[in-house]
Structure formats: structure tokens, C-alpha cells
Amino acid sequence: MPKSVDDNPENMEICKKNCGPCPTFQANGPLKNFEPRALFCARGASKKESVEEKGCNCFGCPLFDKYELKGGWFCIYGVEGKK
């Protein structure tokens, strides 16, 4: 069972290193205008109605293992993961 990801500055710095070059996040530039903008595994999916999948960096993020996360694509699906 995944653990709840802490929404804190330390995790945000880890997220920036992985989410910054994310192909899905970058390809959907308008995500910048929709909350939460980052640390989706802690904050939930983007509020943008449509996001095109281009790849997912979540699986290589240290937070993924630390919090025993599953599914990835947190910017689209939140912690519930890809359906």
C-alpha cells in the first residue's frame, strides 16, 4: 500500500529534478497555468481537463520508492495512478 507523500520543501526539490524534464509535463505547457503544477504524488493531479501522455519520469524518482508508490502518471491521475 502506498504511503502518503509529504508535501514539504525537501520533496519539492526532489520533484523538481524529476518533473522538470518530464516529457508529459513539458509537452503540456499549459499545465503551468493549472494547480498544483508539481509534486503531484502529494498534491494530486493537475486540474487541467486534458493532458496528453508523452512519458513518465515518476518511476525513476526517489519519492516513488521511498513512499512505495504505484502507477505513476501522477500529474494526470494523482496517487490513484494510471487506470
Domain membership flag for residue 4 = no
- Quick check: 32 and 64 in contact, CB under 8 A? no
Domain membership flag for residue 43 = yes
Domain membership flag for residue 57 = yes
What pLDDT score was predicted for residue 81? Answer: 64
Distance CA 67, CA 70 (A): 9
Work out how many domains the chain is built from and give that number: 1
Chain centroid offset of residue 22 CA:
9
Domain coverage including residue 57: 9-80
What pLDDT score was predicted for residue 82? Answer: 62
Domain membership flag for residue 65 = yes
Each residue's pLDDT expressed in tens, for the chain with a length of 83 residues: 678 999 999 999 999 888 888 899 888 876 778 889 889 999 999 998 888 899 999 999 999 999 999 989 999 998 876 65
Distance CA 66, CA 24 (A): 22
Domain membership flag for residue 3 = no
Model pTM? Answer: 0.85
